[in-house]
Copies of this chain bind each other. A is one copy, B any other.
Amino acid sequence: MKIEIPREIERFGAIRFHGLQKVFELDSGLKADSPKNQIGTVKQIPYEDYYEIQKKMAIVVPIRSERLRLLEGVLCGIPHKCLIIMVSNSPRTPIDRFKMEEEALNNFCTFVNKKAIIAHQKDPYLVKAFEKTKYANILNKSGEIRDGKAEGMIIGTILAWLAGKKYIGFVDADNYFPGAIEEYVREYAAGFYLSTSPYSMVRIAWQSKPKIVEEKLFFHKWGRASKNTNWLLNQMLSHYYGFESELIKTGNAGEHAMTIDLAMLLDYSSGYSVEPYHFINLVEKFGGIKESPFPKVMKPGIEVFQIESRNPHLHEVGETEHIDDMSFVAMQVIYHSPICPDKLKKEIYNTMVKRKLLSKNVKPPQPVKFSSLTTIDEKLFFNVIEASSYGKVIKEIRS
């Protein structure tokens, strides 16, 4: 891969936010092809180097009733060395969709000769493990693990951590292009390659997102929800800088990756608010505005990379409602952050009312939050899930 080095860096407390990076070449060859003089603005990341990082990477695929045909393509696009972790929240009746997903994964693994992990979000072993490790906030009133994307991500993160992986990346199961999946994972590795801190995050901005407009494809640069979320996050940062910034381009990025060390430190916010909340929570914890709960991290600091993928993002079309949902929850987490300036709070509130997401004189709702995973005892959690089918695979990987 050939990628430009970040043209802008904005420091915010212990965090370095890097500007959007452009990819020039998907496959730039081996180490032997490195230009002797790598001090230019375009960096070659040889195959061997991203391969070494992918060896230590788990790719989490959250799935909920997506078509198996699409899932198979997604699996095919994940580089061989990555550990695949599927977290499914698909219904088990009247048709057992989860079983079909499990079969599809096992079938794939037989052909490509690798091991993979699949767990259901409602799995009783997981419930018990969360109870034992006192992370019961993730359970609903009926004692099941709550629905939602963030909840699935938490499960995926813990399983990757138990399997001893150093990096964790997320890809959606409904992507039409296996080549795009391969690109995202390579870009995750590229970010970690460029990073100098053990606490790093890589977020993908799609170059475009094709939509059908008047019987033709139109390649939108930014989705409506992304535009709004990025604007709000930039406004918040600008308030503290004193300079207006447009640096944040990946506020809603579902395609993102973290070092496990960072993933364990962040709080999670339920459902689709998880992605913008990661930004907010980073700033809350390491932005230097409030005292950091993890002072040791302040020295190496946090690095956030934003990489513009070359492939357009073409996935199954959801409902239009979804966009408003995403915008609304993003606004909620920014609104309720203790670091959100009053002026921005007012603006968010007015937007919510104007867009009829909220009645006047009502306080904006707040998504459920989950505290960071640092409190979870590794041994205890593993002991509970050891007997499950995925627990057995993790044991094999660890040994």
Contact = CB atoms under 8 A, between A and B. Distances in A.
Interface string A213-247: 00111010000000000000000000000000000
Given A311-B178, A312-B177, A24 B77 contact: no
A111 B2 contact: yes
B2 A73 contact: no
What bracket does the count of chain A residues touching chain B fall in?
Answer: 35 or more
Given A33-B81, A212-B215, A216-B317, A310 B26 contact: no
A183 B179 contact: yes
A345 B336 CA distance: 76
Contact of A80 (B28, B80, B217): B28
A113 B48 CA distance: 19
B113 A26 contact: no
A193 interface: no
Contacts of A33: 80-81
Contacts of A2: 80, 111-112
Question: Among A2, A113, A216, which residue has the most Cβ atoms of chain B within 10 A?
Answer: A113
Contacts of A42: 111-113
How many copies of this chain sit in the oligomeric assembly?
A: 2
Contacts of A35: 113
A211 to B, nearest CB: 10
Given A29-B81, A112-B28, A179 B176 contact: no
A29 to B, nearest CB: 4
Interface in A24-74: 24-30, 33, 35, 42, 44, 47-48, 51, 73
Given A24-B111, A212-B215, A212-B216, A80 B29 contact: yes
A314 interface: yes
A87 interface: no
Nearest to A81: B29
Nearest to A35: B113
A343 to B, nearest CB: 39
A51 B29 contact: yes
A44 B182 CA distance: 17
A70 B28 CA distance: 20
Contacts of A367: none
A317 B213 CA distance: 14
A53 to B, nearest CB: 13
A108 B48 CA distance: 24
Contacts of A30: 47-48, 51
A304 B80 CA distance: 28
A23 interface: yes
Contacts of A176: 210, 217, 219, 312
A79 interface: yes
A310 B76 CA distance: 8
Given A177-B312, A312-B177, A76 B212 contact: no
Contact of A76 (B25, B108, B112, B312): B25
A180 interface: yes
B216 A26 contact: no
Given A24-B76, A30-B47, A77-B310, 9 more contacts: A4-B111, A26-B77, A42-B112, A47-B47, A76-B310, A178-B310, A179-B183, A212-B217, A215-B215
Closest 4 CB pairs of A and B: A179-B179, A27-B79, A29-B80, A178-B310
14 contacts: A4-B111, A24-B108, A24-B112, A25-B112, A26-B77, A33-B80, A77-B310, A176-B210, A177-B177, A177-B312, A179-B183, A179-B310, A212-B216, A314-B314
